[in-house]
Chains A and B, each alone.
Chain A
């Protein structure tokens, strides 16, 4: 387990090398990362949230959940990205629930990254919500992205059962 100060130093780079950072952390550091996700410095807080995504599992999502519910779009954008990094995100019910909410967000950046997280999650259960996003989306670029993700998820239903 690393000390808080050491983790802050790891998160201080303008261009963080997450693979290198994660290689120095373990799930024991998730408690510290969850606290750092509320750090007064936005760069430190948002990078801690991304790290929680990389290290993520159902037990260590407090920082991501709080970010997803933040009134600051900047944090919700980061939460959407963190969700896309969780291994096996499609089988993490809390993560899927958050993606389902974030694709409806009022902020276009949040919707964009949440749609990408939905694409990574790759589960059919998200397709109805994505279809609604596609139908209501005003921005042509995000609408197109929603359409792409919808068709990808819809294809999952068409795969023959074994």
Chain B
């Protein structure tokens, strides 16, 4: 397999806990995505002015049911904040919280690939899980806690969660990889 690159831009409305820092989550992603020969690069990290009125109202983001047919106005609004990010690169917004205590949600408007994660409720592998959705992966059909895309929880503990071969094959076809 040839090595592919995935560039992630992180925009911070609320700084996550030190144990779940952006750098730690990117490292955790690389530990998992290495099996797919995907090198994850933190292309940029920007702290947004969360006191700006438009952003202040989005810091506790309404993600609805976090499904493609229920994209909220707030998700559309947040997706506009992608200054300096090329079209086919992914933005991850770290918000204070997401509605209904979600840890993360990867639903986004067309042409503005993004995920939002909660500074309070995201866990170490939440970023890897949400970006997995952006790369075309769905939740695993079997309830296996060792899988990154398990729907019933992103595992926190060792061993590092894994990708299946079919997931690796699928994500490597993503247009977001170079």
Please list the residues of chain A having a beta carbon within 8 angstroms of any beta carbon in chain B: 9-10, 12-18, 42-43, 46-47, 49-50, 73-74, 77-78, 81, 108-110, 112-113, 139-142
Contact = CB atoms under 8 A, between A and B. Distances in A.
Q: Is the interface on chain B under 10, 10 to 19, 20 to 34, or 35 or more residues?
A: 20 to 34
- 8 nearest A-B pairs in the assembled complex, by CB-CB distance: A109-B60, A14-B103, A12-B153, A46-B101, A141-B57, A43-B121, A47-B101, A74-B120
A113 B99 contact: yes
Contact of A141 (B54, B100, B101, B130): B54
A110 B56 CA distance: 12
Contacts of B105: 15
Given A50-B101, A74-B97, A81-B100, A14 B153 contact: yes
A73 to B, nearest CB: 7
B141 to A, nearest CB: 14
B101 A16 contact: yes
Contact of B53 (A12, A74, A110, A141): A141
Contacts of B151: 13, 15, 17
Nearest to B96: A109
Nearest to A47: B101
Given A43-B123, A108-B59, A141-B57, A18 B153 contact: no
Contacts of B122: 14
A74 B57 contact: no
Given A13-B154, A14-B129, 18 more contacts: A13-B151, A13-B152, A15-B66, A15-B103, A15-B104, A15-B105, A17-B151, A42-B121, A43-B103, A43-B120, A46-B97, A50-B100, A78-B97, A108-B57, A110-B60, A113-B99, A139-B56, A142-B57
Contacts of B53: 139-141
B63 to A, nearest CB: 9
B126 interface: yes
Given A13-B151, A14-B129, A140-B53, A77 B104 contact: no
